[in-house]
Amino acid sequence: MLGETYEHLDIDQQFLTWFMRDRVLEPSQVVVEWLEKNPFAHNDPQYAPVGNYMFTPADSGLIRDV
């Protein structure tokens, strides 16, 4: 999902509803969804749980792989 235009592909409807309601994305950010195994996933109760979406600033290293 792109922060400036909110352009997105198939994003979970519950996530999209929360996202649009709370407007949590800055115009210069993108949302990345892990489609395969999340490399940050863990089962350690010492740390906060990790979801399948990552908010990140858009920079020159970002490429679109469709």
- pTM across the whole model: 0.55
User: What does the block give as tokens for 17?
Assistant: 């509803």
Distance, CA of 56 to chain centre: 7
The residue with tokens 């922060």 is: 3
Q: Can you tell me whether residue 31 is helix, strand or coil?
A: strand
Taking the domains of the chain in order of start, what are their residue ranges? 1-66
Q: What is the pLDDT of residues 3-54, one digit of tens each?
A: 556 666 677 778 778 777 887 777 778 877 787 888 888 889 999 888 888 8
